[in-house]
Structure 1
Amino acid sequence: MSVRYGNKDHLIFHGDALTVLLEEIDSESIELIFLDPPYNIGKRFGDFYDKWLSDEDYVEWAYKWLDECIRVLKPNGTLYVMTSTQSMPYFDIYLRKKLTILSRIIWHYDSSGVQASKYFGSMYEPILHCVKDKKNYIFNSEAIKIEAKTGAKRKLIDYRKTIPTPYNTNKIPGNVWYFSRVRYRMEEYENHPSQKPESLLERIILASSNEKDLILDPFAGTFTAAAVAKRLRRNSISIESQEEYLKIGLRRILDWQEYKGEKLLPLQKSYVRKNENGQKISS
């Protein structure tokens, strides 16, 4: 059973993603789907523990909601899906039989935290960019162009052309994207273990949807996809199973100030520095 909140532009479902997809979302009704599911790596999300007994159990669960997402995607729709580096091969092999995979994207980030000491630690997360019809889909290349360092900074000339010409100063991004991870002191930070940055969602939404299009996020978490969709004048449907994170969406997307008698306030952050003994450190 799920509970629905929202208005004509932005809907939030509190419930299980697969159940909501099966019972609430019409076939071929969604222009863009962003999937950031649990990764099967042992994180705690509210009352949910992100660990299956085996990889096979995890992908069996994942294939069910992937099939439903394919069902609700419009014929010219686009689907982006993330998962762990360990699980992505299962997703890739499964989806290439059902959709066209246009790009295999690497979201790269830096980390000053603890890293592996006996092997090369992971500094990226993979993303599949898929469409139903490889001849008919949305891709707004002009909306996502970035600086081309060769042309804009190095000011090189391409002498291979009949008339030597400076290299372009901007370009469409390749499939390796650098965006910083969301950190505690950042304004967009919410209390969630795997929040994705707004900049990442902005590129995806600008590239693969138009204003008033409908964007679906079945694992909403901090509701970043819906928040960026709202800012960019798209409509959204979000699904979240954990009440702790539902409250983020009610505040962030629907502008609710209270839920079941509880004030919905942005996370109150402390910038006091402490040492390993919990004692304050002067700046």
Structure 2
Amino acid sequence: MIELFHDIDFEYLESDNSLVIYNDCIESLKKMEADSVDLIFADPPYNLGKDFGNDSDSWKDRQKYLEWCYTWIDECFRVLKDNGTFYLMNSTQNIPYISIYLQEHYNIVNDIVWAYDSSGVQSKKKFGSLYEPILMATKTDKAKYTFNYQDILIEAKTGAKRGLIDYRKNPPQPYNTKKVPGNVWEFPRVRFKMDEYENHPSQKPEMLLQRIIQASSNPDEIVLDPFGGSFSTAGVAVKLGRRAISMDINKEYFKIGIRRTGISKTYKGEILQKDKSRKTNNTSKKSHIKNNNIQLSLFDI
């Protein structure tokens, strides 16, 4: 997949189904061919002061942070195919600005809420924050984007579970036992003792990424993550038979990507092993600590 890039001056490693890039995402995206990616999932630093090892989450000026976001968002849409899909996450503080930008320049398909439980410390002065927003977007409102609803069906917990009959149908039939998920998704956050845990301060659950990748891409299509981080997106994409392109400017996260997508078990003579130590300096400097329940992953990556 490196053939999708020109003027390559960055470090990378690849296999048949994974390309991992060690470089700034904006610089890398600018070197990438337009209209070449089927699905993008972007989970950037939220400007909340988390420790990503490179001071990339501390912007003193919100407007400059948002301008930075608009720059890589535009580059993402440039490399996205006309009928591709773009999922974007950010904090509740920033998402209204980003949403307006997408509405003015592109097309929002869904506003999604990722909700999770928390038994940790919560504010005594206001309601605690127990969700993160996700925007699902396309280039235009005429895009014929992929939506494999049959691959993401979940249990219907209403009439079907109680064996009720839907008399509106002719002839009357039991309620459906499966349904397409709504726009409120309940997945537990990734915690220290979970199998999928990586030493990263902002890791997203594999089950959440599985839903996005299965719904909005097909086998052998290209899934791009410009902020690789724990490389959960790439790891799940490879497991699901997609091809993954991921980027990160942190060398330790770059090595996670090499290991987690199966490119190699070593890097320059170093044996790549999962770091199961707890990330101690990973709490927001501007928000309260959030904890959640433990749930095993669908994948053993």
Q: Same fold (TM over 0.5)?
A: yes
Runs of 5+ consecutive residues of structure 1 not aligned to the other structure: 271-283
2:233 to 216, 225, 238: 225
For the residues of structure 2 that align with 1:181 and 1:56, how far apart are their CA atoms?
29
CA apart distance, 1:255: 4.0
- Is the 1:6–1:254 Cα contact (8 Å) retained in structure 2? no
2:257 is paired with a residue whose SS is helix
The alignment covers a number of residue pairs equal to 269
Q: What's the offset of the Cα at 1:116? A: 1.5
> 1:248 matched to which residue of 2?
256
Is the Cα–Cα contact under 8 Å of residues 151 and 170 in structure 1 kept in the other structure? no
Q: Which of 77, 89, 94 is residue 101 of structure 2 equivalent to?
A: 94
2:199 aligns to what? 191
Mapped contact 2:113–2:133 kept (Cα < 8 A): yes
Matches within 5 A, 1:111-130: 111-130=118-137
Deviation at 1:133, TM superposition (A): 4.2
Q: Is the 8 A contact 1:109 1:179 kept in 2?
A: yes
The structure in which a higher percent of residues are strand is: 1
Alignment equivalent of 2:223, drawn from 202, 215, 219: 215
Partner of 2:42: 35
Q: Find 2:55's aligned residue among 48, 51, 68.
A: 48
Higher normalized contact order (CA 8 Å, seq sep 6+, divided by chain length): 2
On the 8 A contact 1:215/1:236 being kept in 2, the answer is yes
With normalisation by structure 2, the TM-score equals: 0.86
What is the identity, as a one-letter code, of the residue corresponding to 1:141?
A: Y
Letter in 1 for 2:114: W
| Partner of residue 171, structure 1 | 179
**Which has the higher mean CA deviation after the structures are superposed, 65-74 or 49-58?**
49-58
The share of aligned pairs that are identical, in percent, is 54
What does 1:153-168 align with in structure 2 at a 5 Å threshold? 153-168=161-176
Bigger Rg, structure 1 or 2: 1
Aligned to 2:190: 182
| C-alpha distance after superposition, 1:97-155 (max 9, x if no partner) | 22221110000001122221211111000000112244411000100000000133222
CA distance 1:182–1:98, shift in 2 (3 Å) = same
Per the alignment, residue 4 of structure 2 pairs with none
Moved runs in structure 1, 4+ residues, more than 6 A? none
DSSP 3-state at the match of 2:151: helix
More displaced 10-residue stretch of structure 1: 252-261 or 142-151: 252-261
